[in-house]
Amino acid sequence: MSEVRALSAETPGILSFRGPDAVRYLNGQLTQSTADLGDESRPSCVTDAKGRLQFMVHVLAGPNPEELWITCQPDQVAGLRDRLERYLIADDVEVSDLTGSWTRIHADSVIDGAAFRRASRGVFGDGLDQWWHGGEAPAVQEIDSDVVENLRVEAGIPAWGKELSEGMLPPEAGLDRTAISYAKGCYIGQEVLSRVKSAGKLNRRLARLRLDASVPAETALSLDETEIGTITSVAPHPSSDGTVAALGWIRKAGFDRDAFGVPGGLTARFVGWA
């Protein structure tokens, strides 16, 4: 078994876009730039005309010339393909579903024989997504899932189904810093997201928090006995100082506060925005 530290092997959803118009076409569909990807796997949002989140994906160069891959959760492939092909009219682009034919391992260093792309997933800083065709992926030293969750929450990285959901504004979860390019030109929802950036006004934001003790997700946060937000994720294990990392939504009235009440007489201390 390799000494490389890694997440468990996955078979993510993969849509392949091939052809001379692939880069230009996807640049008009994603919030992230698709130009000059090199060895990067870039996070991106797919949004509707109102700038609301529909899918959270990664875009990367495929193994063939003039090919880009969009990766997502396997159960979202059909919906994502339908959304992207809706605007594919006169472009010279061929779309294929490669789900199930490639395996991905995210690791802290290169594994012999892998095709890799740099990607940040909150575990190794700038780690590496590494790809094998079919079932050829090697055995690796897998990190315990609770440790991975601890690292994600500590780093303030939102997860689909916990912090991320369809219909939200991506900047609420800090995705404007990692998954949105404001310099690449037009895409579906671009006008709304640019206005949000210019105005700097959001009704809620995702915060990194520290708790005195663990509580369940969906526990309410209060300010002066008024509910001001909700905890979304709690790290499985406490830190060395005994506190527990968490993520949670804070509404606008609490943006300038540094502590919030938690049921049971506990306190959630503000660490920073996600």
Hey, is 1 helix, strand or coil?
coil
Which residues does residue 103 pair with via DSSP β-bridges, in sequence order? 132
pLDDT for 157: 95
Separation of alpha carbons 25 and 72, rounded Å: 18
pLDDT for 114: 83
Q: Which token pair is 121?
A: 């997933």
pLDDT for 112: 84
Strand boundaries in 144-263, DSSP class E: 204-211, 220-223, 226-234, 244-251, 259-262
Report the greatest alpha carbon distance in the chain. 61
Instruction: Spell out the domain ranges in the chain.
Output: 2-137
- Overall average pLDDT of the 245-272 stretch: 97
Output the pTM of the full model: 0.94
- For residue range 134-190, what is the model confidence (pLDDT) as tens digits? 877 888 889 999 999 999 999 999 999 999 999 999 999 999 999 999 999 899 999
For 160, phi then psi, to 5°, come to -65, 135
Is the confidence at residue 69, as pLDDT, over 60? yes
For 156, phi then psi, to 5°, come to 75, 35
pLDDT for 113: 81
The reply to whether CATH 3.30.470.30 applies to domain 2-137 is no
DSSP strand pairing (102-107 vs 126-133): antiparallel
- For residue range 184-220, what is the model confidence (pLDDT) as tens digits? 989 999 999 999 999 988 999 999 999 999 999 999 9
Which residues does residue 18 pair with via DSSP β-bridges, in sequence order? 67, 94
CB 257: neighbour CB atoms within 10 A? 13
Is the confidence at residue 1, as pLDDT, over 70? no
Residue 128 — very low, low, confident or very high, per pLDDT cuts 50/70/90? very high
Amino acid identity for residue 163 in this structure: E
